[in-house]
């Protein structure tokens, strides 16, 4: 027969276990240790999950030839005539937005959301996502991220024999879990030492201007240390100094990972006059050369002012509501539309 002391001891044990579980969750201890992390996902359906109007406008020189819903664009080479090569080939200067890359931001290491929720797990230790509150009362966050090569127009054969498309298949190009710089603010200074120059109130205040620019158009290239309304671009890792919702933080880390790819010369520039004859080194990412569209957990295909993709840095307040839900809806994936200019020769 169980004595009153024994019953009190068991109740105290259950109470302590519950407190410990809540503490692990609240202070960002790896969720896998508490059995709370999940790995779910969905391969982006090219019919229902990708907003194809984002490839517009198509331009010839400085003139727009095709548009739908007033899609936003950056500047194009003014002349419709171009030439490339040692033995110059005369052609036409074409501009468009290519769905070329895919970024996912995940809680569980090696969880490939965009491949249907495949738990890769090769046995390499990597920190899980977590959220915790610092001494000032602000919530901080950390996520892992993956970078895919995804030139959808080419592998879907939507446009045949168009020389401006990147000729590649769907490929997983980068895993932050195997990158020691992604979870260490100090170690990542090896990649972006200039971050120390912008860790001051004046540089941080300038990001407000970048937010305004992104809200009404595109982020400012000269404010390269800013990520528009998402905050600061530095450090180029998975730590967010404040967490105001999963969609906003995922947008920020998508920008950072793309900027990191440029810094490591794994992503190149393809826009402007310099891109007419092929890709070129662009170690400092031009934020205005990308638009994003959420494809998971809820595809953002609803038209906001006639558009369903947004430039890097634009606020998520208007379109990000109801795009996140508990447990299975806390990982995120984005299609990146990259601006490209190309000289199509005769």
| DSSP state letters, 25-38 | HHTT--HHHHT---
pLDDT tens per residue across all 346 residues of the chain: 444 444 444 444 444 434 333 333 333 333 333 345 689 999 999 888 999 999 999 999 999 988 887 899 999 999 999 998 777 778 999 999 999 999 999 999 999 999 999 998 888 888 888 777 767 677 788 999 999 999 999 888 877 678 889 988 899 999 999 999 999 999 999 999 999 999 888 999 999 999 999 999 999 999 999 999 999 999 999 998 777 788 999 999 999 999 999 999 999 999 999 999 999 999 999 999 999 999 999 998 877 767 889 999 999 988 888 899 988 899 999 999 999 999 998 5
Q: What is the pLDDT of residue 271?
A: 96
Q: What is the pLDDT of residue 42?
A: 92
Show Cβ contacts of residue 253 under 8 Å, excluding neighbours closer than 6 positions.
Answer: 105, 143, 145, 238, 240
Show Cβ contacts of residue 52 under 8 Å, excluding neighbours closer than 6 positions.
Answer: none
Q: What is the pLDDT of residue 27?
A: 35
Q: What is the pLDDT of residue 346?
A: 57
Alpha carbon 170 to chain centroid, angstroms: 17
Q: What is the pLDDT of residue 103?
A: 97
Distances (CA, A) of 104 to 58, 147, 202: 27, 7, 32
Q: What is the pLDDT of residue 238?
A: 93
- How far, in Å, CA of 236 to CA of 248, rounded? 16
- How far, in Å, CA of 318 to CA of 297, rounded? 17
219: nearest Cα among 285, 147, 148, 295: 285
């Amino acid at each position: 027969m169980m004595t009153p002391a024994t019953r009190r001891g068991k109740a105290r044990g259950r109470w302590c276990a519950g407190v410990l579980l809540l503490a692990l969750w609240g202070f960002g201890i790896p969720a896998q240790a508490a059995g709370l992390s999940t790995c779910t996902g969905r391969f982006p359906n090219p019919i229902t999950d990708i907003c194809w109007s984002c490839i517009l406008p198509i331009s010839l020189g400085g003139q727009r030839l095709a548009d739908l819903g007033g899609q936003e664009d950056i500047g194009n080479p003014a002349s419709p005539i171009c030439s490339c090569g040692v033995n110059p080939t005369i052609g036409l200067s074409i501009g468009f937005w290519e769905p070329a890359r895919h970024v996912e931001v995940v809680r569980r290491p090696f969880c490939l959301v965009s491949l249907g929720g495949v738990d890769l797990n090769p046995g390499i230790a990597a920190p899980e996502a977590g959220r915790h509150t610092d001494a000032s009362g602000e919530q901080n966050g950390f996520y892992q991220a993956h970078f895919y090569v995804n030139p959808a127009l080419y592998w879907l054969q939507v446009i045949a024999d168009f020389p401006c498309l990147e000729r590649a298949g769907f490929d997983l190009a980068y895993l932050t879990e195997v990158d020691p710089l992604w979870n260490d603010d100090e170690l990542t200074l090896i990649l972006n030492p200039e971050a120390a120059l912008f860790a001051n109130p004046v540089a941080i205040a300038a990001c407000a201007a970048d937010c305004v620019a992104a809200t009404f158009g595109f982020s400012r290239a000269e404010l390269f240390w800013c990520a528009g309304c998402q905050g600061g671009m530095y450090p180029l890792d998975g730590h967010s100094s404040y967490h105001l919702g999963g969609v906003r933080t995922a947008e920020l880390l998508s920008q950072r990972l793309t900027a990191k790819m440029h810094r490591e010369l794994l992503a190149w520039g393809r826009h402007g006059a310099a891109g007419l004859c092929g890709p070129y080194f662009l170690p400092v990412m031009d934020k205005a050369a990308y638009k994003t569209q959420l494809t998971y957990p809820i595809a953002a295909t609803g038209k906001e002012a006639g558009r369903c993709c947004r430039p890097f840095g634009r606020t998520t307040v208007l379109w990000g509501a109801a795009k996140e839900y508990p447990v299975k809806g806390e990982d995120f994936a984005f299609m990146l539309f990259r601006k490209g200019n190309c000289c199509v020769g005769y």
